[in-house]
Amino acid sequence: MTPTTHLFEFLAGQIADTEAGWSLGTFGAIAEFTRDSGEPAALHQTDEAIAVATARGGLRIEMSSELRLIASESPTTESWSHRLALCLPHHACTMSGRTVLTEIGTDSGALRAADRNGVLFDLGLGTLQVDVCVRSCDPEVVAGLRGCTGKSVLAPGCEAMRIILAASPHRVFISRVGRAEVFQPIPPPGGKSPTGPHTHLLPKLLAQHRTHAATERVPSGWVPCAHIYPPHPLRDGLGEARPFRCEHHVAFQALLERYGDPEHVALKRQVVDSIMAGHGPSGVSLPADRFARAIVRVALRQLHASDRSPTATLAAWLSAYDRTDPADAEDPMEAPH
């Protein structure tokens, strides 16, 4: 089996897993896709792509010879998060870069045949690795948006955003690794996003012009275009706490070994081995950089959650290394997993 074939089969398995969550987008603009166990869904697979669609949204992931998975973990306010970034080289991830509302035409690439006559509008957010769009078959909505083309949707008093918020057209996020579509209504200002597929558009974060959160380490020259959030040991698909699931922990650690940063994986292994051997923190020299601190904190929290380590030794390590660090607060763009 070639590496590309193995990767394709892995991605297909993640799409088939109802406990795995997905996101596609950039820092400040993201579409999330999840589905419930037993929720009706249409899955489709070809030699080049895997897709799934429900009544609430859908996702398609397209294969590329340049696609690379990067696994990572980060401490959060309560425990830790984990993810697999679907990355492309900078030169291969670039999208249109439009900076004003632009009519694209009918959406021939829509996941569902019934949506392919809908008219697609790029919001013109100027993001590197994703075109953030809306799609509508409603003549009044289409006419209203056509009247706003050529303008910035983020300008104060923009009529386009008023139309979008009132009509809740489909949101369509398109990247070089695929697309995510959200059919659910947009919540009112101050409202809560619905469970399942939904989107976030946060102008203050977009203004930072980042491709991903500062808490996620991605090798230079690579850009995350989408993320997978495999089942978490301590939280279900809605982010609700549950008893520690060892099988989910073991499964992600295997992914971390295969797709994670080798230096970080080695550091984590060193910390765990030291604690299991009963060695206190004073006898181990660790790097002082931000990502190394985060790795140590995640390792300690995982040991604590799994109850596999000597209590007194772990307590000493937690006291030394797991103090509150505002810089490692939970990423506001992090998906539920």
More confident of the two residues 311 and 182: 182
Distance between CA atoms of residues 201 and 170, nearest Å: 14
Return the closest-CA partner of residue 216 out of 312, 314, 47, 332. Answer: 332
The strand ranges marked E within 123-232 are 131-136, 170-175, 178-182, 198-201, 222-229
Whether 219 shows a pLDDT value over 80: the answer reads: yes
What predicted TM-score, i.e. pTM, was given to this entire model?
Answer: 0.93
**What is the C-alpha to C-alpha distance for residues 213 and 138, in angstroms, rounded to an integer?**
36
The span from the CA of 66 to the CA of 93, in Å, is 10
pLDDT tens for each residue of 195-217: 999 999 999 999 999 999 999 99
Question: Is the pLDDT confidence value at 99 over 90?
Answer: yes
Give the total residue count for the chain. Answer: 337
Both structure tokens of 168? 């809740």
Please write the tens of the pLDDT for every residue from 167-187: 999 999 999 999 999 999 999
The CA distance from 283 to 264, in Å, is: 19
Given pLDDT bands bounded at 50, 70 and 90, which one contains residue 238?
confident
What order do you get walking across the sheet with 49-53 strand by strand? 42-45, 49-53, 57-62, 178-182, 170-175, 131-136, 119-122, 102-106
CA distance 279 to 122: 56
Q: In what order do the strands lie in the sheet with 21-26?
A: 68-75, 80-89, 222-229, 21-26, 29-33, 198-201
31 contacts 171 by C-beta, under 8 angstroms:
yes
Least confident of 28-37, 51-60, 187-196: 187-196
pLDDT of 5-35, one tens digit each?
889 999 999 999 999 999 999 999 999 999 9
Q: How far apart are CA 57 and CA 225, in angstroms?
A: 18
Question: pLDDT higher for 66 or 307?
Answer: 66
Q: How confident is the model at residue 287 (pLDDT cuts 50, 70, 90)?
A: confident
- The rounded percent of the chain whose pLDDT value lies above 90 is 84
pLDDT for the residue numbered 239: 83
- Give 222 or 311, the one with higher predicted confidence: 222
| DSSP-assigned states of every residue in 35-66 | --TT---EEEE-SSEEEEE-SSEEEEEE--TT
Phi, psi of 46 (to 5 degrees): -125, -175
- Residue 197: phi, psi to the nearest 5? -60, 135
| Span 244-258, pLDDT tens digits | 999 999 999 999 999
Instruction: Return d(Cα 13, Cα 52) in angstroms, integer.
Output: 12
The whole-number pLDDT of residue 3 equals: 75
Q: What angle do CA 66, 70, 73 make, to 5 degrees?
A: 165
Range scoring the smallest mean pLDDT among 97-101, 102-106, 120-124, 283-287: 283-287
Which run of H or E residues covers position 102? strand 102-106
Contacts 24+ apart (CB under 8 A), 77-80: 77/329, 77/330, 79/234, 79/235, 79/301, 79/305, 80/297, 80/298, 80/301, 80/302
Give me the chain's average pLDDT, please.
93
Confidence of residue 337 (pLDDT cuts 50, 70, 90): very low
| Position 192 confidence tier, pLDDT thresholds 50, 70, 90 | confident
